[in-house]
A and B are shown apart, each in its own frame.
Chain A
């Protein structure tokens, strides 16, 4: 768990079963293990009102069977976060108060699913989150506004305008992205060494 450097830097908790009858889980890769850990603490019948949306990513097939064994009312498996988000948006549009939201996995998954939930009118403090897996970041370049996915290095190259960006801890829930600021604006010939730090 990273230190809370500045106020906007998200911190994540540990999923725990909330009261209510309807529960929506969104997880990618190792995020599935957070759902499986919650299941050990959940009351009987908890998953009868649950909807699990899972994006296996690189985790291959190790989590599908144990997640299905929880017997959720609905189980969805998607090829990518981008493919799952419209489905999440649709699910929330038809949902009612009392639906509890649980997000688990990479920062990119948690951030983007939360962005959709916020747009649906849910307060971020009402959403349970747990980080598992990669710390790769979604970064918005403050210069061209383009978003670069899966940034693991510091500095990082903007996939849109090519500037070399210092990846800050400054985070936007609205954009679901960290802020990237040109690291060598004064002297573009100065190229700091890239280090892989967001693994």
Chain B
């Protein structure tokens, strides 16, 4: 069993269409009782059994950490992805039994902060649903800035505005409203921490602008799960297990290892936590690194790979697994 991946048997108690792209799923323990406590920013890995295919995708918990009767997640439909979100949208119905992991938090609030400045883009709003509930319950000082495409796709914008009033600022792309990032970053009191969750481009923009304006790295928190990208199939030799496996087009290297009965450690399955880091014994080809864990130098070294999101193209790859 992988560290931190103790499993929970849950029942889907509700499925709610939030708007044309987003559905919300409610889970309760199948054996009754409360679910484990979690903190705002935590995610669970949802197991999707789809015939002989099995997908494990991380989703942020968006319900209040003060309520562990159920967990809720919101899933945005991605028609061009590997099918995890489509499975959730099309196949998961109320009453279904599912398996999820214990919650893990790789995007937690730094509660020493004097103030929390939360920046969300699109479906990146979900961890902030839980974090704002946690902060509001503890009298925390926060300000949320949320950019979405249109009012119709402003997932939970109305809920957040009702709950927190002026502490919530919403910007709609279709009317050319833009997050006033520079003004926000230059007007925060000392002791403010910054959190950003959204598309990769937004995270990069916020991190670079914050660094240029003198925000110390320790005060800038971000979460970007890179969903595993499909790619060309490739073969891998696992040196320790003395096995030869094939990674399919729609499969990640981690999933292929699991399908072969190997159980590498993981927590996020999105290239951020570092658990599944694997040493490369030898290779002849090109790595397709997609993670946010290894350094640039490690990516170039050809000595390490993050099997949850990264791929390989070439003649041979031997891993220390």
Residues of A within 8 A of B (CB): 18-22, 92, 95-100, 120-123, 125-126
Cβ–Cβ contact A20 & B190, under 8 A: no
Cβ–Cβ contact B213 & A21, under 8 A: yes
Cβ–Cβ contact A98 & B213, under 8 A: yes
In the complex, which of the residues A21, A121, A123 contacts B214, with contact meaning CB atoms closer than 8 Å?
A: A21
In the complex, which of the residues A95, A100, A126 contacts B218, with contact meaning CB atoms closer than 8 Å?
A: A126
Cβ–Cβ contact B219 & A97, under 8 A: yes
* 20 examples of A-B residue contacts, CB within 8 angstroms: A19-B211, A20-B213, A20-B215, A21-B214, A22-B214, A92-B190, A96-B186, A96-B187, A97-B185, A97-B186, A97-B192, A98-B214, A100-B214, A100-B216, A120-B190, A121-B114, A121-B189, A123-B216, A123-B218, A126-B219
In the complex, which of the residues B113, B211, B214, B218 contacts A99, with contact meaning CB atoms closer than 8 Å?
A: B214
Q: How far is A92 from B113 in the complex, measured between Cα atoms in Å? A: 15
Q: How far is A18 from B188 in the complex, measured between Cα atoms in Å? A: 19
Q: Distance (Å) between the CB of A128 and the closest chain B CB? A: 10
Contacts of B219 in A (CB 8 A): 97, 123, 126
Q: Which residue on chain A has the smallest CB distance to residue B191? A: A121
**B 203-224 binary contact with A (CB < 8 Å = 1; else 0):** 0000000011111101100000
Contacts of B213 in A (CB 8 A): 19-21, 97-98
Near A by CB (< 8 A), chain B positions 108-141 give 112-114
Cβ–Cβ contact A125 & B218, under 8 A: yes
> In terms of DSSP, what is the predominant structure of the interface of chain A?
loop
Cβ–Cβ contact A97 & B218, under 8 A: no
Q: Distance (Å) between the CB of B220 and the closest chain A CB? A: 10
Q: Distance (Å) between the CB of A98 and the closest chain B CB? A: 4
Q: How far is A75 from B192 in the complex, measured between Cα atoms in Å? A: 27
Q: Which residue on chain B has the smallest CB distance to residue A117? A: B190
Q: How far is A22 from B298 in the complex, measured between Cα atoms in Å? A: 34
Cβ–Cβ contact A121 & B190, under 8 A: yes
Q: How far is A99 from B188 in the complex, measured between Cα atoms in Å? A: 11
Q: Which residue on chain B has the smallest CB distance to residue A126? A: B216
**Interface contacts beyond A97-B213, A100-B214, A126-B216: sample of 7 additional A-B pairs, CB < 8 Å, sorted by A:** A18-B214, A19-B212, A97-B185, A97-B186, A97-B188, A97-B214, A121-B189
Cβ–Cβ contact A96 & B190, under 8 A: yes
Q: Which residue on chain B has the smallest CB distance to residue A125? A: B218
Q: Which residue on chain A has the smallest CB distance to residue B211? A: A19
Given that A18-B214, A20-B214, A98-B215 are known contacts, is A123 also in contact with B112, CB under 8 Å in the complex? yes
Near A by CB (< 8 A), chain B positions 213-238 give 213-216, 218-219
Q: How far is A126 from B114 in the complex, measured between Cα atoms in Å? A: 15
Q: How far is A26 from B219 in the complex, measured between Cα atoms in Å? A: 22
Q: Distance (Å) between the CB of A147 and the closest chain B CB? A: 25
